[in-house]
Structures are given as structure tokens and as C-alpha cells.
């Protein structure tokens, strides 16, 4: 249940000119072309620092737990780092949760960007450090993987502070949205990968859905398993306090096939449900500010910020 108070903390600053990004790997390993990574950032006027764990592999993990944890703490602690981008997902973020120094992170707030397994960090940092984090492009699959716009644009636009209160988070018109349940609601945008939301129930990263717009997405999950995961959230009391639902991409499951299940699970809540949002394991991958207050209008098929994301 929603029994832990969410911590509030001052907003970080938006990316400055010549911002420096930290590249960390809290989860799984991947081959990283360091020259290509540095060239990507430098060609856009930025710098990057690649932390040791991003270049290591320990079976299905990118480096040891100690190394991955140290990289995260060092990236938050370093005043020269302006934002933190995860290299990939996979698995491993949950192994760090009970050793995260939330006081350290709260003292040095800065944007963390990633999705998939990084959902565990998004939820934990929201609850225990009060951070707004970003469900958006990771280094290997997205930024270096050539995903189509608005993947890069939404990533840099939001971290650069170019969207303010009342501004729309633009969704590509070529990918139609579906107003499963019409209506309008305001709340904190929470959620991420549905499998991780289920896996972290009962842990310190359990998603706080009070007064929320719940965002869900997943990959390689058949419809019956999506049903099981949503039913798990319902039985755990995690649909209480949900003001609206934003449904992302579920690779291999069309919105048409998903809609009856969405109506069955969320219909009794009487809240707006907008489906088909391209964020997560899809191309393009639209950035979303988790922990920020947003206005969801499923009738108009729009999502707008209801707060500023950064200090200016």
C-alpha cells in the first residue's frame, strides 16, 4: 500500500551550455564504443564522462554491485556532472536499492535518465530523495542506436529546461493515440516498466501512486502476463489514488488488443485512460518526467506539464 511519505527536494538546474553528462550502467552490460559516445555528445555541444562500470561486465551485470553503486554515487556527488544517462537496462538496479545514499542524492539533485530496469531507480529516487527523473533515452539503444525523432529532441528539450508549466509534451502525430476512457486529470506522473513495478512491490522502491497519473509500458510480455501484472497492482492497492492512466508501448500487443483489458482494470476507477504513447522499448522513445505534476487530457489526447522541472 501507499504507506511511505514521498520526500520533497529542491529542483535541479537545467542543462547549462557545454553540459557534462555522466554515463553509468546500474544494470546490465553492453559493449560501448567510447569514441562514438564522446563524439555524439561533443557534436551537440556537450561533454561526457564514462564511469568505470559502463566498461565492465560481471556476467549479466555491468560490473560488481559495489562498482555500479559507486558510479551512481560519484556521478551525483560530482559538481561537474549536470545529468546522468544510463547505458542500458537489462537487470541489476534492484540489487543497489538498499545501499543507495538518498541523503547524498538529495543534496546533489540532478536528472537521471533511463527506462526498463531503471524503473526501480526512478521509483526509489522519487520516494526517498524527491527527485524528478526522466523515463527516456539511454545511450546504447537510443542515442547511439539512431532512433527516430522525437527521441533525441524530447530528451534534450526536457533536460535543457525548454519546457515549462503548461507546455505540452509533444507526441509524434504519425503514431495515433487512443482515448480508451475520455476525461482530464492532474497528478504526479509515476510508473515505468510494468514488470519492474510488480517486482518492486513490498520493497523501498514500491511505486507511490497517490494523486498520480500512472504510466505503464513493457516489452516481450504476452497479454495474459500484462493482465497478471495489472491485477497484481490492483490487489496491492496501487490503483487507489490513481487520477489517470497513460499507457505506453507494449511491443507485440496492439492498442486494439490491449483496450479490453485496460477497460476491465481501469474502467471501474472512472479515470481518463490514454493509450499508445511511444515511450520506452519502442522507436521513437518520447521522454517523460517522472515525479512531475502533469495534466492528462485523454479526450484531447494531450499531456502537459503542470509544474516547472528545473530552477532557472
CA dist 217 → 116, 155, 246, 255, 259 (Å): 9, 18, 9, 12, 14
CA proximity to 69, closest of 81, 82, 53: 53
Q: How far is CA 242 from CA 211, 233, 271, in A?
A: 6, 11, 8
Catalytic residue (choose from 128, 217, 279, 298): 217
Per the annotation, the verdict on 217 as an active-site residue is yes
Q: Please confirm, yes or no, whether 281 is among the known catalytic residues.
A: yes
R_g of the chain computed on alpha carbons: 18
Query: 116, 126, 178, 298: which is the annotated catalytic residue?
Result: 116
With 0-12 CB in 10 A as exposed, 13-18 as middle and 19+ as buried, what is 92?
Answer: buried
Q: What span, in angstroms and rounded, lies between the C-alpha atoms of 65 and 71?
A: 10
Q: Please choose, from the candidates 135, 150, 152, 154, the residue with its C-alpha nearest in 3D space to the C-alpha of residue 44.
A: 152
E strands present in 115-177:
133-135
User: 154, 171, 281, 298: which one is catalytic?
Assistant: 281
Q: Which is it for the CA torsion 74, 77, 83, 86, positive or negative? A: positive
Residue 216 CA to residue 202 CA, distance in Å, equals 18
The rounded Cα 281 to chain-centroid distance in angstroms is: 11
Residue 128 bears catalytic tag: no
Per the structure block, which three cell numbers stand in for 226?
500484462
Element (H, E) at 23: strand 20-24
- Write the Ramachandran bin of 153: left for phi over 0, alpha for psi from -120 to 50, otherwise beta: alpha
Best CA proximity match to 180, nearest among 265, 253, 106: 265
Residues marked as catalytic: 116, 217, 281
Amino acid at each position: 500500500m501507499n504507506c511511505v511519505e514521498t520526500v520533497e527536494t529542491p529542483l535541479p538546474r537545467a542543462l547549462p551550455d557545454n553540459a557534462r553528462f555522466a554515463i553509468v550502467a546500474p544494470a546490465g552490460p553492453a559493449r560501448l564504443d567510447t569514441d562514438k559516445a564522446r563524439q555524439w555528445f561533443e557534436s551537440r555541444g556537450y561533454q561526457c564522462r564514462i564511469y568505470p562500470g559502463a566498461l565492465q561486465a560481471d556476467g549479466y551485470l555491468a560490473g560488481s554491485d559495489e562498482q555500479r553503486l559507486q558510479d551512481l554515487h560519484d556521478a551525483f556527488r560530482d559538481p561537474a556532472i549536470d545529468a546522468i544517462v544510463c547505458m542500458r537496462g537489462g537487470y541489476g538496479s534492484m540489487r543497489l536499492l538498499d545501499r543507495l545514499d538518498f541523503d547524498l542524492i538529495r543534496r546533489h539533485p540532478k536528472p537521471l535518465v533511463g527506462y526498463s530496469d531503471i524503473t526501480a531507480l526512478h521509483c526509489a529516487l522519487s520516494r526517498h530523495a524527491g527527485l524528478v527523473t526522466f523515463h527516456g533515452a539511454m545511450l546504447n539503444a537510443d542515442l547511439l542506436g539512431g532512433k527516430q525523432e522525437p527521441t533525441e529532441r524530447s530528451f534534450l528539450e526536457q533536460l535543457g529546461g525548454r519546457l515549462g508549466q503548461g507546455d505540452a509534451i509533444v507526441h509524434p502525430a504519425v503514431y495515433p493515440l487512443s482515448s480508451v476512457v475520455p476525461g482530464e486529470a492532474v497528478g504526479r506522473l509515476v510508473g515505468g516498466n510494468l514488470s519492474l513495478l510488480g517486482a518492486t512491490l513490498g520493497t523501498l522502491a514500491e511505486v507511490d501512486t497517490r494523486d498520480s497519473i500512472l504510466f505503464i509500458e513493457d516489452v516481450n510480455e504476452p497479454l495474459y502476463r500484462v493482465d497478471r501484472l495489472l491485477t497484481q497492482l490492483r490487489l496491492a492497492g496501487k490503483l487507489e489514488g490513481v487520477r489517470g492512466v497513460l499507457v505506453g508501448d507494449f511491443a507485440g500487443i496492439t492498442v486494439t488488443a490491449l483496450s479490453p483489458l485496460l477497460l476491465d482494470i481501469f474502467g471501474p476507477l472512472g479515470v481518463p485512460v490514454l493509450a499508445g504513447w511511444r515511450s520506452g522499448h519502442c522507436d521513437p522513445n518520447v521522454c517523460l518526467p517522472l515525479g512531475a505534476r502533469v495534466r492528462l487530457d485523454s479526450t484531447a489526447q494531450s499531456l502537459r506539464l503542470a509544474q516547472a522541472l528545473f530552477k532557472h
